[in-house]
Homo-oligomer: A and B are copies of this chain.
């Protein structure tokens, strides 16, 4: 199986020696770090994240606004539980990330899907739902369409948050990997009224099994989030936080991002070349400015789930675009993740995909 699953980092290329050195110091289990820790996280780790987010993402915060979580899914779950009561409404992107829908529905929220236009999540319909308590947005790299929200739309959303009871939940999950264009700072950094909850994860840059992420919350929300965390699972494992803090403080994290960004950029370019050479006329693929996948559009009338199943039977994993939409999309597509694949594997995968799709008989979408 050659998997084009999106969002999977290459764990074969990792700073193993640097990690090993950081980790082995903590294997001695410093006694002061074995008891119950701060619900919001290990202070030196929060400081490192605050520095990183300020430098790399334009996030404005003090370290005490940084809360350590077990990956971005926990940030979504805590946000839904802290900010929403059962029956409250929340805006979600359509298409959008599935995990947020699960977390919001789990908290009893009513989802209001907002469409994506060429500037990212549309705001036009927001005024029709003044009761909405939350807007989940991915301005850096809309998931899964890959649109970067331009400044005017960002300001519109901030104005919405200021004039409504709704919070903005900014998921900056793919922001580390930008290959073209100047990175726009996070919405959080533009916010002057403490209306944005910012979240990110180490799963994509380090590795998913680490289960560490972070959120940045307005001052008024530090205590409610910390208390909710206490009742959920107390706090993230302290030793792992210590290892990551050291890994960041010694510069390995920044070095690793730079290295992977260059590698993934080459891999995306290679994927585009292979698609152009082997799948022209079938898949319409355009370069993505950022992130860990590209969108590949199918010819009109092709059912993307049928294509995905057809490919899976032939040893290719490629997720259907319609899995990420609440309403049936006009056109089907595939999400092609490339970071975890060598150029050789990318080429072999696209070749196999081309052969498989030559034998595919499109059925009319039901």
Which residue numbers of A lie inside 8 Å of B, CB to CB?
A: 8, 11-12, 14, 16, 19-20, 23-24, 27-29, 31, 33-37, 69-71, 73-74, 77, 81, 86, 99, 102-103, 106, 108, 207-212, 228, 230-240
Chain B residue at minimal CB-CB distance from A232 = B77
* Of listed A28, A73, A233, residue having the most chain B CB within 10 A: A233
Query: Cα distance A235–B71 when bound, in Å?
Result: 10
Identify 8 residue pairs between A and B in the complex whose beta-carbon atoms are under 8 Å apart, listed by A's number. Answer: A11-B35, A19-B27, A34-B208, A35-B208, A36-B208, A77-B233, A210-B237, A211-B235
Contact indicator B16/A29 (Cβ below 8 Å): yes
Chain B residue at minimal CB-CB distance from A243 = B27
Contact indicator B70/A234 (Cβ below 8 Å): yes
Min CB distance A98 to B, Å, is 10
Query: Cα distance A106–B231 when bound, in Å?
Result: 8
Contact indicator A211/B231 (Cβ below 8 Å): no
List B contacts of A210 (CB < 8 A).
34, 237, 239
Contact indicator B35/A209 (Cβ below 8 Å): yes
A24-B24, A70-B70, A106-B228 known; A233-B209 Cβ under 8 A: no
Query: Cα distance A74–B229 when bound, in Å?
Result: 10
Min CB distance A299 to B, Å, is 32
Query: Cα distance A132–B232 when bound, in Å?
Result: 23
List B contacts of A240 (CB < 8 A).
237, 239-240
Contact indicator B36/A11 (Cβ below 8 Å): no
**CB within 8 A of A99: which of B207, B228, B231?**
B231
Contact indicator B8/A35 (Cβ below 8 Å): yes
List B contacts of A24 (CB < 8 A).
24, 27
List B contacts of A28 (CB < 8 A).
16, 20
Contact indicator B31/A102 (Cβ below 8 Å): no
Query: Cα distance A11–B30 when bound, in Å?
Result: 10
Chain B residue at minimal CB-CB distance from A21 = B27
A108-B86, A233-B74 known; A11-B23 Cβ under 8 A: no
Min CB distance A344 to B, Å, is 18
Contact indicator B35/A73 (Cβ below 8 Å): no
Query: Cα distance A31–B77 when bound, in Å?
Result: 28
List B contacts of A232 (CB < 8 A).
73-74, 77, 106, 232
Given contacts A29-B207, A77-B231, list 4 more A-B pairs with CB under 8 A: A19-B29, A36-B209, A69-B233, A74-B232
Chain B residue at minimal CB-CB distance from A98 = B231
**CB within 8 A of A231: which of B11, B23, B103, B235?**
B103
List B contacts of A74 (CB < 8 A).
232-233
